[in-house]
């Protein structure tokens, strides 16, 4: 580790020739995560009819592994796919970056511990979390141009982690002294300056960042000192003005949290106060426009992991999923039918995720309603974790099984592109 907090020795390219049989898996960061995926993975707005799934129009590319049996793609941009892969012992997992043009997978290593995982990529910067030699965890930023990895510091506590990047600014949370609290931070990947955001009630409050947009609007959840974090309050923090906006003042509920932010739109969920009956009111989704200050109740249909892209909010329900148009205030149901349709990533006009029963990976086009099930790479099941603005998706899918009694072999990181 250098004096600037960098780690120069953890990037090792692994070349995959076109004639080489690619080997991959799909667990988001661990084999346990893969196992979970295989196990299963009032008045309101107008409702549109769900589109029928179309036949697959995508080609699946096996991205390989770092020597082990398993790998999983997590996020992508125009040039790079990031994820995690098992090493040769199938015990240790390392973050990787896969160059879409050269088809080279690079081991990003760790910060001294046994494992690391990538969360997202934006241009030259890969963000993720890694263990240290002492077993604690730190967030990291890896520069694909300089091949240097920088550690996200704590605020005197035992750990830090990342949750998003936009405009070269990384956000996440880090522990305070004695691990008494968690505070959100903003880390500039270009200058390596980390800013502790604290909380709206000062250093004794708790905060965590869910994401950032426009390189300046940090959105997340905060809470008062000494209260359960599950009873938190949604917030937006402007890095330029340093102003906090407590979104819980709009919902008049018990608690609220942010789940996604893009552009000038923040979405999340809130728990309404009991109305006097014995039943607890169901959670509801919300959207907040940062520019206008307009807060909107999206209803109970949008209460499970809402995620926003442009003017559309998407959320899982049973059966299927919903897309909510913030301009027309209409709901469009989508999905293959019974069960749930999970939304794991959005970009531009596209959403990607997987279905349960399944899991089966899909790409959904918001503007046309086209729903495309994605092919596996020889097996049956698959999951999609992210999608780019061209509709390319990344995740993991099953290879052929050597066991006649099982439909799937091991899972490998997979890149799907439109034919």
The 10s digit of each residue's pLDDT in 42-84 is 333 433 333 344 444 899 999 999 999 999 999 999 999 999 9
Answer whether CATH 2.60.40 is correct for domain 51-60+132-358+366-418: no
Please report, for residues 108, 341, 419, the alpha-carbon distance to residue 373 in angstroms, rounded to integers and kept in the order given: 31, 11, 14
Q: Give the separation between CA 251 and CA 296, rounded to whole angstroms.
A: 9
pLDDT at 278: 64
Nearest-Å Rg of the Cα atoms of the chain is 21
Strands 393-398 and 125-131: unpaired
pLDDT at 230: 56
Strands 46-48 and 330-334: parallel
pLDDT at 226: 64
pLDDT at 31: 31
Q: Taking the model in full, what pTM does it have? A: 0.85
The helix or strand, by DSSP H or E, that contains position 248, with its residue range, turns out to be helix 248-251
pLDDT at 28: 33
Strands 148-151 and 137-143: antiparallel
Return the percentage of the chain with pLDDT > 90, whole number: 76
Residue 368 per-residue DSSP state: T
The 10s digit of each residue's pLDDT in 163-218 is 999 999 999 999 999 999 999 999 999 999 999 999 988 888 999 999 999 999 99
* Exposure letters 80-95 (e unless 16+ CB within 10 A, then b): bbbbbbbbeeeebbbb
**pLDDT of 32 over the 60 cut:** no
pLDDT at 319: 80
**pLDDT of 290 over the 50 cut:** yes
For residue 280, name the pLDDT band (cuts at 50, 70, 90). confident
**pLDDT of 354 over the 90 cut:** yes
Mean pLDDT on 404-416 = 96
Mean pLDDT on 373-386 = 96
**pLDDT of 254 over the 60 cut:** yes
Q: CA dihedral in degrees (395, 401, 406, 407; nearest 10)?
A: 50
Mean pLDDT score of the chain = 87
**pLDDT of 130 over the 50 cut:** yes
Most confident by average pLDDT, 221-235, 275-289, 360-374: 360-374
For residue 227, name the pLDDT band (cuts at 50, 70, 90). low
Name which of 31-35, 144-148, 196-200, 384-388 the model is least confident about: 31-35
Name which of 56-65, 104-113, 373-382 the model is least confident about: 56-65
Domain boundaries, the chain: 51-60+132-358+366-418
For residue 159, name the pLDDT band (cuts at 50, 70, 90). very high
Mean pLDDT on 24-37 = 32
Other beta carbons less than 10 A from residue 291's beta carbon: 8
**pLDDT of 383 over the 70 cut:** yes
pLDDT at 419: 84
The 10s digit of each residue's pLDDT in 315-334 is 998 788 999 999 999 999 99
For residue 25, name the pLDDT band (cuts at 50, 70, 90). very low
């Amino acid at each position: 580790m250098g004096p600037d907090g960098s780690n120069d020795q953890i990037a090792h390219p692994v070349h995959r020739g076109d004639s080489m049989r690619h080997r991959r898996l799909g667990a988001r960061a661990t084999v346990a995560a893969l196992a979970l995926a295989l196990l299963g993975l009032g008045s309101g707005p107008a409702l549109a009819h769900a589109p029928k799934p179309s036949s697959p129009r995508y080609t699946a590319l096996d991205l390989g592994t770092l020597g082990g049996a398993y790998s999983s793609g997590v996020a992508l941009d125009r040039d790079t796919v990031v994820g995690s892969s098992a090493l040769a012992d199938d015990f240790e997992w390392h973050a990787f970056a896969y160059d879409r043009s050269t088809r080279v997978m690079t081991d990003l290593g760790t910060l001294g511990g046994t494992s690391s995982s990538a969360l997202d990529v934006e241009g030259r910067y890969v963000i993720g979390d890694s263990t240290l030699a002492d077993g604690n965890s730190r967030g990291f930023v890896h520069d694909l141009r300089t091949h240097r990895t920088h550690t996200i510091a704590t605020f005197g506590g035992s750990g830090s982690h990342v949750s998003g990047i936009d405009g070269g600014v990384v956000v996440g949370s880090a522990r305070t002294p004695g691990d008494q609290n968690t505070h959100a931070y903003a880390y500039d990947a270009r200058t390596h300056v980390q800013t502790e955001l604290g909380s709206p009630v000062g250093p004794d409050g708790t905060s965590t960042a869910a994401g950032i947009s426009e390189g300046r609007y940090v959105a997340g959840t905060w809470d008062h000192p000494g209260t359960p974090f599950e009873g938190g309050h949604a917030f937006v923090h402007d890095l330029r003005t340093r102003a906090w906006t407590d979104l819980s003042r709009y919902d008049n509920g018990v608690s609220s949290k942010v789940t996604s932010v893009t552009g000038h739109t923040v979405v999340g969920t809130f728990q309404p106060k009991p109305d006097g009956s014995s039943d607890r009111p169901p959670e509801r989704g919300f959207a907040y426009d940062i520019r206008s200050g307009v807060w909107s109740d999206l209803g109970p249909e949008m209460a499970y992991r809402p995620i926003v892209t442009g003017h559309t909010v998407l959320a899982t329900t049973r059966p299927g999923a919903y897309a909510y148009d913030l301009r027309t205030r209409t709901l469009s149901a989508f999905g293959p039918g019974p069960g749930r349709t999970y939304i794991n990533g959005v970009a531009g006009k596209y959403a990607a995720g997987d279905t349960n029963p399944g899991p089966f990976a899909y790409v959904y086009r918001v503007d046309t309603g086209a729903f495309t099930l994605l092919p596996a790479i020889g097996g049956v099941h698959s999951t999609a974790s992210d999608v780019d603005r061209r509709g390319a998706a990344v995740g993991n899918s099953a290879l052929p099984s050597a066991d006649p009694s099982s439909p799937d072999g091991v899972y490998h990181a997979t890149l799907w592109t439109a034919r």
